[in-house]
Each structure stands twice: as C-alpha cells, then as structure tokens.
Amino acid sequence: MAVRSAQGDGPTSGRWDGGAEKTDFNAKRKKKVAEIYQALNSEPTDVAALRRMAISEGGLLTDEIRRKVWPKLLNVNTNDPPPISGKNLREMSKDYQQVLLDVRRSLRRFPPGMPEEQREGLQEELIDIILLILERNPQLHYYQGYHDIVVTFLLVLGERLATSLVEKLSTHHLRDFMDPTMDNTKHILNYLMPIIDQVNPELHDFMQSAEVGTIFALSWLITWFGHVLSDFRHVVRLYDFFLACHPLMPIYFAAVIVLYREQEVLDCDCDMASVHHLLSQIPQDLPYETLISRAGDLFVQFPPSELAREAAAQPQAEKTAASTFKDFELASAQQRPDMVLRQRFRGLLRPDERTKDVLTKPRTNRFVKLAVMGLTVALGAAALAVVKSALEWAPKFQLQLFP
C-alpha cells in the first residue's frame, strides 16, 4: 500500500503562480484532474496528453493520480508484477551491507511523525526492492543515492508497483549512473556549463575562473534532487516533470537553479571553496514552477544535440553524454543516455578543435543570451515540444502508439 506524504494526498506543488483567487485555483485544478482522467480513459491511453499534464503547472497534483499516471509514462504494465525471488538476497548480494547502511541513514526521507514501526517496515521494503532489481539486472551497479530515488517511488506507489517502475527507470533514465564507474555520470554533468554559458556567459566565466567544476550538482543529478530537497511535495513535483521528459532534463533543471542564483554566485569570492559551498547548499524555497518552465524552455532552445560540441570540448571529450533522441532510438536495446555518442564524439571534432579552450570560442551578443531567461515561452508550447522529444526517445514499442 502506498504511503501519502506528510502533507496529505492533495496538491503537491504549492500554489499556482499568478496570485489567482481560491475559486480560480479550484476551477483550474478540477479542470486539470478531468483532463488527466480523460487521457487515462482514452483508448489507447493518451500518453502524450499525460506527459503534458505532468510537465504543466502543478504537475499531477496528487499521489492517487501519480499511481495511475507514472506507470503510463514509463510504459509499465501494472497487471504484470515482478516475480518474487526465491533466493535469500540479503545473504547473497554483494551490495547488501552498503544498501543497509544507506537505508538506515534515510530517516529524513520518510514523512515526519510516521510511526516508527511503519517506517521500519518501509525501510525493509526499500532494501528488498533494491536487492531484487540488482539481482534481476546484473548489469546494473548500485550507487549511493539510488535509494533516494527508490524511496520516493515506494512512498507514492507501494512496494509492488515501485519495484516495477524503478526497474524500468534503472534500465532507461538512470542507466548511466549504474555503470561500474562514474565516467558516464561525469559526461552527463559536462552539459551543465554549456547550458549556463548559452544563457549567462558572465556567470559561466566566473564559475570557470573559480574552477568550481560541476561536482556540486552530482547529488542533484543522481537522486533527481530527492536527497537535497526536504519537502516531499517538491520532490514528487520534480519527478512528475522528469518522468515526462528526456533523461537529460535533470541537468537542465540543475542549470536553471544555478542561473536563478546568479547574483549570489557573483557576490561570492571567486574561488572554488566559496562557490562550491554556496551552490552545494540548495535553497528550499525555490520557485519550482517557474524553474520547471524555464528548464523546459532551455531544453527547447538549446537541445542536447546543439550543446554536444561544447560538452565534447570539456575534459574527457571523447566520452560525452547523449545528445540526440535518434541516438536513443538506435540504442533502444539498452536505452542509456551515453550509449551511442561515446563513440560518435571520437570523430565529431577535428584534432585542432579537440584541444581548443571552451573559453576562447566566439561570443554572441551577451544581451541576447541574457534575454533568454526573460523569454519564457508559454508552457503549453514548450510542453508540446518537450513531450514530442520524450516520445521520440521512448522505446519503440511505445512509439508505435504515436505514429
């Protein structure tokens, strides 16, 4: 049985933007709920509409709706539960001790005030989900932070459904994070600075001068912000967004957080310690709906395929993360963000370009770039573009529903 967040099973994204009256809020919410159920009840299910609903303001609104929609976004058959392993995974798994330690440290991820007995039962279920997925998929390697993602699904969906969805997620969106090494994770982080550079070259150059790198965003990326946000409502709102989008959307969201904190960063001493300390302490009162909208806008304006050259010019250029959705489709057997482009980028740059410093590239008009953050397109249009991208990336058996 799924567990509701401490705030209940109502809207989980805070208030709607724009200062609308309560009656307007209720009317919008009622209309959106009706549209979600209309898409769910369509034959076949209108997954594109569900993606738009998950991306647009307020997300999926309630955990009850999430239990119906999240499986559709990941194309999981809720009537086909994962088989129960007959093995004693706790004795056999090489990861058990690390998983146990991480789960024991995850107390704050459970709703405040939850009875201890209930929380301990959920922690046992959390361990079982992780060990079962690893046992069924020996190509996957556990990483610290994985449990932060799994516990979110457990609290919303319950053990059986969470197992199915997290297994699909682990072989798709999270696949790069579950390699034997962190190389591919670092390659995905390589996209952060090019995104920032497109919007705010001054901030980009300051961060480069401070040599802060991107490690401050590592826990954001590999936990889908679950480890760093204290309010469960904000976590599930972001999961609505990420599940409906391309697997690289979390790195765009990381970029808009940095861009939003521009003045704080520029007011820092220009050294690694100061900037890293600031950025690693993520604010809890971020304007999430605004940032989600801007992340979608940036993805449309600067898709991964356009940023690939700049990302490839950074350290370990020949192993940069994914850039185009066609590459995902070609790699559908494994569906991992770094699969095809690692090889393609070896031939992408001419030898003289491989060694060129990113900071020496020609600048376009700085004010044009700065204006990007002020040109937030209507979310409906952005959502359509992002949804189209997500559908193009999806496994082929899902694409057949949307010719």
- The answer to whether 34 and 26 are in contact (CB under 8 A) is no
**Residue 76: both structure tokens together:** 């999981």
Pick the CATH number of 182-312 from 3.30.70.2740, 1.10.472.80, 1.10.1370.30, 1.10.10.10: 1.10.472.80
Segment 161-189 mean pLDDT: 94
Q: What is the pLDDT of residue 221?
A: 96
Distance, in Å, from the CA atom of 199 to the CA atom of 365, rounded to the nearest integer, reads 11
| Count of residues making up the chain | 403
Q: What are residue 8's phi and psi, to 5 degrees?
A: 95, -170
- Domain 62-174 matches domain 182-312 at the CATH topology level: no
- The CATH code of domain 62-174 reads 1.10.8.1310
Cα–Cα distances (Å) from 382 to 45, 255, 289, 293, 386, in that order, read 22, 17, 13, 8, 6
Cα–Cα distances (Å) from 76 to 49, 56, 81, 213, 395, in that order, read 17, 22, 9, 37, 12
Segment 185-206 mean pLDDT: 95
With a cut of 70, say whether residue 7 has pLDDT above it.
no
Distance, in Å, from the CA atom of 195 to the CA atom of 96, rounded to the nearest integer, reads 38
Q: What is the pLDDT of residue 346?
A: 40
Residues 11-48 pLDDT 10s:
444 444 555 467 888 889 999 999 999 999 999 999 99
With a cut of 60, say whether residue 320 has pLDDT above it.
no
- The answer to whether 144 and 102 are in contact (CB under 8 A) is yes
pTM score of the predicted model:
0.77
Domain coordinates of the chain in residue numbers?
Answer: 62-174, 182-312
Q: What is the pLDDT of residue 18?
A: 55
- The answer to whether 131 and 96 are in contact (CB under 8 A) is yes
Residues 109-129 pLDDT 10s:
999 899 999 999 999 999 999
The confidence band for 325, taking pLDDT boundaries of 50, 70 and 90, is very low
With a cut of 90, say whether residue 102 has pLDDT above it.
yes
Distance, in Å, from the CA atom of 256 to the CA atom of 195, rounded to the nearest integer, reads 9
Q: What is the pLDDT of residue 327?
A: 37
- What average pLDDT does the structure give for the chain? 79
Who contacts 73 (Cβ-Cβ below 8 Å, separation ≥6)? 47, 50, 51, 54, 243, 244
Q: Higher model confidence: residue 228 or residue 84?
A: 228
Q: What is the pLDDT of residue 21?
A: 65
The confidence band for 303, taking pLDDT boundaries of 50, 70 and 90, is very high
The confidence band for 380, taking pLDDT boundaries of 50, 70 and 90, is very low
Segment 188-207 mean pLDDT: 96
Q: What is the pLDDT of residue 86?
A: 61
Distance, in Å, from the CA atom of 68 to the CA atom of 164, rounded to the nearest integer, reads 13
3-state per-residue secondary structure call for 252-263: HHHHHHHHHCHH
Q: How many CB atoms lie within 10 A of CB 214?
A: 22
